[in-house]
Chains A and B, each alone.
Chain A
Amino acid sequence: MTDTKTDPTPDRPDAADPSELPDDIIIRVNHLVKEFPITKGVFFRKQVGAVKAVSDVSFEIRKGETLGLVGESGCGKSTTARALLRLLEPTSGDVWFRVEEDGVDDEIVNVATAKKEDLRGVRRDMQIVFQDPYASLNPRMTVASIIAEPLVVYGEGSKQERLDRVKDLLKVVGLSPEHANRYPHEFSGGQRQRIGVARALALNPSFMVLDEPVSALDVSIQAQVLNLMNDLQDEFGLTYLFIAHDLSVVRHISDRVAVMYLGKMVELADRHSLYDRPMHPYTHALLSAVPIPDPNIEMNRQRIILEGDIPSPANPPSGCRFNTRCPKAVEGTCDVQEPEFRELEDGHWVACHFPEVKQVF
């Protein structure tokens, strides 16, 4: 194991040099940390601790691919996404993002440290679709003004041009141009999510974060929206960071999948390796817990039932963060030493002292 690499994005302080970021990489997240302070007292808000929501997470996303980010509630997947878009201020770490200039002179920007005014150009290229289609649309704005808002912010086009663009976008997401003058409450959940997608597409971004875009929707509507996401990716060559807790949805949409637990990335691999040859005990448990809509398979499945609950991220366990619930934990190793994130097979990264390929379904 001596020849295994130990970090998907090694420290490269000079990565600002575009030649250092391989051409096919659109975003590189380097040792990203996000902590939320826990304060005490009313007047002198003394910091007494920190919720370590994201602890040293590194990964890359290739142009045109979908990276699925999965984990249970509180594992830090949404915080990772928000910190890399800088909707939250990262505590430390770098986020190198490729701003495409007509395919020639790409500019590489460190989103985590860039000045606010420099971020403006970057934000055109990175967009987000939120989980809750009921909360993420302003109920007092018409669909046209919701979708046109990014265009207005960036001063794009005349009023008429913007309206034409809105109508095009509505068609692109499977709605009808006549919907432009209605209000969000007139639409169903699936339709609202389409409006959210249209808004995200307005500025022709190259990279989109999809934060649980289908988990609030009914199954039959989920399928419609997933199909739409796939079509849009093909049509516009979009790169997705797809965040979800549902592993079957992630398998369906992703090219590569990363699993997070308590602020750490525990496994990262292409979709086939991750689902067919998972190596981390947490991934094993997670996969074995997902129900499959097939009685013959379900009735004969051996589940790995984890004991207990996820520990608090304010006070994570020492050593490997999963050691308190891990069926394979070895005392003296797992609870003391933090496992390195290593590449054990081609493109298959695991953070475990005792990784083992296991078929779980």
Chain B
Amino acid sequence: MTEPLLQVDDLRTYFTTEEGIVRAVDGISFSMAPSQRLGVVGESGSGKSVTALSVMGLIEPPAGEIVTGRIMFRDKNLLELDEDELQDIRGGQIAMIFQDPMTALNPVYTIGDQLMETILLHQDVSRSEAREIAIQSIDDVHIPNAKQRMMDYPHQYSGGMRQRIMIAMGLSCNPDLLIADEPTTALDVTTQAQIMDLMLQLADDRGTAVMLITHDLGVVAGFCDDVHVMYAGGIVESGSIDDIYYNPQHPYTWGLLGSMTRLDDEQRHRLHSVRGAPPSVINLGKGCRFRPRCDFPTEICGEVLPALRPVGNPGQAAACHHAETLDLQKMTASEAADSAAAAAEAGFTTVGTADEDLTDVDLSGEEIETETLGAEERSMEVESIEEGPS
């Protein structure tokens, strides 16, 4: 086992709001090896971006706060460094690419200025050397006429090219770890293919470790070695891409895969949707956070928050009390639509014929996001769910 590049232990990042404490990231632990390509997958509000911002030291108090945890980058705990020490690592050894390349670039400086700023800050070079490095890095991301394009402003670039510049900027100091937060979400699909192709090639050439944060399981499949699936601030499943896609152990992972439309899917079968919506991470009750949306809840799920524990293939882990007994991999998405999911879906999707009780169940699940239910309502909701899928 090689020395990990990044080791995160029990990270908890909370935000204080008027409605209560938002537990955006609530006790996650993971590590990354050098050159590893890790996918962090989850829906909006699952805490994937906050994880990245925490690692980058970009959580600004007083709004947000890293309550507990340790983020070891090589032998340094990033949470104990002062701003100057952090500055050395940030941009130099750990770089980040953001989702929206337009807002991440400063509109009043030329692309060249912005690239050189990073290089001058982190490398001991003269201005003219920095210029050469900047031109080379634009060249590396396959933008023609690098010399001329140095003088252009961000608005003169298209969306795809701006994201290339972000990649150039991120990689200009040869970081050991690149965090890419939804790097292609704002882009068209052919541009996305260009950018992912480029990232793969550059990361391969330089041996850069990449943490790819995305909601798109398709992008992850072609890029990553390993995947963490996040839900409501916690990691619910982790494993190699083969584990996650072919042998999912957590009902959420399985539901997510079933709800995806696939380009190569000729059948027009019903999608196995995960009912309800992700919960608000304010005032989470005890028990499993996925429970209100799960097809297989039992009593213990309402009592004890399941820990991430080894299950399935070697190296795979899931946070589910029943991972061993569910045997999810035997149920294909289409089978699921017929069996357990049929009951769950009835309330949501069947037109006119929906059983009243089921409609209520599903809605109460979805409402959690929009309304913070009081303890009393919450217990009522739990009761009504128990009537449902069993």
What residues make up the interface of A, taking CB atoms closer than 8 Å to B?
Answer: 72-73, 171-172, 174-176, 179, 185-191, 218-224, 226-228, 230-232, 234-235, 245-249, 251-252, 272, 275-276, 285-295, 297-299, 301, 303, 305-306, 309-310, 361
Q: Is B222 an interface residue (CB 8 A)?
A: yes
Q: Are A251 and B362 in contact (CB under 8 A)?
A: no
Whose C-beta in chain A lies nearest to the C-beta of B189? A289
Q: Shortest CB–CB separation between residue A244 and chain B, in angstroms?
A: 10
Whose C-beta in chain B lies nearest to the C-beta of A289? B193
Q: Once the chains are docked, how many angstroms separate the CA of A292 from the CA of B219?
A: 8
Choose from B215, B257, B275, B348 the contact partner of A218 (Cβ within 8 Å): B215
Q: Shortest CB–CB separation between residue A263 and chain B, in angstroms?
A: 16
Q: Are A223 and B351 in contact (CB under 8 A)?
A: no
What residues make up the interface of B, taking CB atoms closer than 8 Å to A?
Answer: 43-44, 158, 160-161, 188-194, 196-197, 215-222, 241-242, 245-246, 255-266, 268, 270-275, 277-278, 293, 345, 347-352, 354, 359-360, 362-363, 366, 369-371
Whose C-beta in chain B lies nearest to the C-beta of A176? B363
Q: Are A231 and B193 in contact (CB under 8 A)?
A: no
If A172-B351, A218-B43, A290-B263 are given as contacts, then 8 extra A-B residue pairs at C-beta distance below 8 Å, sorted by A number, are A72-B189, A174-B362, A176-B359, A191-B366, A231-B351, A247-B263, A251-B263, A293-B262
Q: Are A291 and B43 in contact (CB under 8 A)?
A: no
Q: Are B261 and A249 in contact (CB under 8 A)?
A: yes
Whose C-beta in chain B lies nearest to the C-beta of A298? B222
Q: Shortest CB–CB separation between residue B357 and chain A, in angstroms?
A: 11
* B161, B222, B274, B359: residue with the most chain A Cβ atoms closer than 10 Å: B222
Whose C-beta in chain A lies nearest to the C-beta of B280? A188
Q: Are A226 and B271 in contact (CB under 8 A)?
A: yes
Q: Once the chains are docked, how many angstroms separate the CA of A187 from the CA of B367?
A: 7
Q: Are B351 and A220 in contact (CB under 8 A)?
A: no
Q: Shortest CB–CB separation between residue A204 and chain B, in angstroms?
A: 14
Q: Shortest CB–CB separation between residue A174 and chain B, in angstroms?
A: 5
Choose from A220, A272, A294 the contact partner of B274 (Cβ within 8 Å): A220
5 tightest CB-CB pairs across the interface, nearest first? Answer: A291-B218, A223-B259, A223-B273, A298-B222, A289-B193
Q: Once the chains are docked, how many angstroms separate the CA of A24 from the CA of B173?
A: 63
Residues of B within 8 A of A309 (CB): 158, 160-161, 191
Q: Once the chains are docked, how many angstroms separate the CA of A252 from the CA of B221?
A: 20
Residues of B within 8 A of A247 (CB): 189, 263
Q: Are A361 and B366 in contact (CB under 8 A)?
A: no
Q: Are B263 and A231 in contact (CB under 8 A)?
A: no
- Contacts A226-B271, A303-B197: A220 and B259 contacting too (C-beta < 8 A)? yes
